[in-house]
């Protein structure tokens, strides 16, 4: 993974929030909150909060827990703040490789679709364990293989046709590049946790038109940087090619496809 894979800058945060959050993130935010509610934490840390889809769900679903929401990207935090939460939460820019919190600070930690972006996953797990209280719970999810996620798979294939000499591989490489259960378990235990509980959670991704997921992925993720670096066709041309491929496969009008995540639970 290159540093550019974590570059959520410019107009990306707003497009991410408008298109990608309802497309793929809200379903798993609800799943995450249900899992956390069963733990009844008093103080909770969220890592890689992005534009706050899980944060908002946590603020609504956990009436009394103190919530500290963090992200490495200040632009994503600012977008999350602008959307707001049902009740106050603490926002903080923080690096998951070096968390700015004392040992044993939190009863629970959550991270939705962020671990794939961490440059040293075992180190991030060690940091999570450090700030987690004994007996606390860390729940995170990652995307399953790209073949099990229809829209990003279709878009990646379409862009390979558009840029045959140098296909953009961000979606397969990073968001969908950390799905191996054995590797996840190895990294978690290298970080000091015990054997994790791993669940595969399928879902459905829905949009009003084929263009919506094309915009979501091509313009609302770091895939945008890969497309723009190739220059021809431009971002709009690549987005249109992606939309055409989705429409060809899933039809005109509203579209629906598979999504699938891997949810990991470990105890401190």
Predicted confidence (pLDDT) per residue in 125-141, tens digit: 999 999 999 999 999 99
In this prediction the pTM is 0.95
77-80: long-range contacts, CB 8 A cutoff, minimum separation 24: 77/49, 78/13, 79/13, 79/14, 79/16, 79/17, 79/51, 79/52, 80/49, 80/50, 80/51, 80/52, 80/55
pLDDT at 8: 77
Q: Which of 85, 41, 80 is nearest to 60 (CA)?
A: 85
Which residue, chain included where needed, has tokens 């094309």?
Answer: 214
Kindly list the structural domains of the chain, giving each domain's residue range(s) and its CATH number in brackets, ordered by start: 3-267 (3.40.50.150)
Going by their DSSP bridges, the two strands 43-47 and 90-93 should be labelled as unpaired
- Structure tokens given for 209: 């038109």
CA 9: distance to chain centroid?
15
Q: How confident is the model over 234-256, as a mean pLDDT?
A: 97
Q: What is the four-CA torsion angle of 116, 181, 195, 133, rounded to 10 degrees?
A: 20
pLDDT at 10: 80
pLDDT digit string, tens, across residues 138-164: 999 999 999 999 999 999 999 999 999
pLDDT at 268: 82
> Residue 61 and residue 34: Cα distance in Å, rounded?
8
> Residue 35 and residue 15: Cα distance in Å, rounded?
28
> Residue 19 and residue 146: Cα distance in Å, rounded?
19
Give the confidence band of 108 by pLDDT, cuts at 50, 70, 90.
very high
pLDDT at 95: 96
Q: What is the Cα gyration radius of the chain?
A: 18
pLDDT at 53: 98
pLDDT digit string, tens, across residues 185-208: 999 999 999 999 999 999 999 999
pLDDT digit string, tens, across residues 22-64: 999 999 999 999 999 999 999 999 999 999 999 999 999 998 9
Give the confidence band of 235 by pLDDT, cuts at 50, 70, 90.
very high
Q: How confident is the model over 210-229, as a mean pLDDT?
A: 97
- What are the Cα distances from residue 260, in Å, to 39, 151, 230? 24, 11, 30
| Inter-residue contact 178 to 184 (CB < 8 Å) | yes
pLDDT at 3: 56
Give the confidence band of 4 by pLDDT, cuts at 50, 70, 90.
low
| Inter-residue contact 2 to 225 (CB < 8 Å) | no
184-191: long-range contacts, CB 8 A cutoff, minimum separation 24: 184/142, 184/262, 184/264, 187/121, 187/122, 187/125, 188/125, 188/264, 188/266, 190/122, 190/125, 190/126, 191/121, 191/122, 191/123, 191/124, 191/125, 191/126, 191/127, 191/128, 191/129
Q: Which residues pair with 140 in a beta bridge?
A: 111, 264
């Amino acid at each position: 993974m290159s540093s550019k894979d974590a570059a959520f800058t410019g107009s990306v945060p707003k497009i991410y929030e408008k298109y990608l959050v309802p497309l793929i993130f809200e379903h798993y935010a609800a799943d995450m909150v249900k899992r956390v509610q069963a733990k009844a934490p008093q103080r909770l840390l969220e890592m890689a909060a992005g534009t706050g889809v899980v944060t908002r769900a946590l603020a609504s679903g956990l009436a009394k827990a103190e919530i500290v929401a963090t992200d490495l990207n200040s632009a994503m935090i600012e977008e999350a703040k602008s959307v707001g939460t049902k009740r106050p939460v603490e926002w903080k820019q923080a690096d998951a490789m070096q968390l700015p919190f004392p040992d044993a600070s939190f009863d629970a930690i959550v991270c939705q679709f962020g671990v794939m972006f961490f440059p040293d996953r075992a180190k991030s797990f060690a940091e999570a364990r450090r700030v987690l209280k004994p007996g606390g719970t860390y729940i995170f999810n990652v995307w399953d293989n790209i073949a099990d996620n229809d829209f990003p798979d279709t878009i990646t294939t379409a862009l390979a046709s558009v840029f045959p000499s140098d296909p953009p591989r961000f979606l397969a490489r990073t968001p969908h590049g950390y799905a191996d259960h054995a590797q996840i378990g190895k990294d978690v235990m290298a970080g000091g946790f015990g054997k994790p509980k791993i669940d595969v959670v399928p879902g459905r991704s829905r949009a009003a038109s084929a263009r919506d997921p094309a915009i979501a992925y091509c313009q609302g993720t770091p895939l945008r940087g890969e497309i723009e670096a190739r220059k021809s066709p431009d971002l709009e041309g690549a987005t249109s090619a992606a939309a055409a491929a989705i429409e060809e496969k899933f039809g005109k009008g509203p579209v629906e496809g598979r999504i699938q995540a891997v949810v990991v639970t470990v105890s401190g």
